Chain A
Amino acid sequence: MVTPEDIKGWIEAGMTDCSVNCEGDGHHFEAVIVSPEFEGKSRIQQHQLVYGVLGDKMEAAIHALSMKTLTPDEAGA
Chain B
Amino acid sequence: MNIQEQLKEIVEANDVVLFMKGSPDFPQCGFSGLATQILQQSEVRFASVDVLADNAVREGIKQYSNWPTIPQLYIKGEFIGGSDIIKEMFENGELKTKLEGVVAA
Contact = CB atoms under 8 A, between A and B. Distances in A.
Contact of B66 (A43, A48, A67): A48
B5 to A, nearest CB: 22
A47 B85 contact: yes
Q: Which secondary structure characterizes the binding site on chain B?
A: mixed
Interface residues of A, number: 13
A44 B81 contact: yes
A44 B83 contact: no
Contacts of A66: 31, 83-84
11 contacts: A28-B30, A43-B81, A43-B85, A43-B88, A44-B67, A44-B79, A47-B81, A47-B85, A48-B66, A66-B83, A66-B84
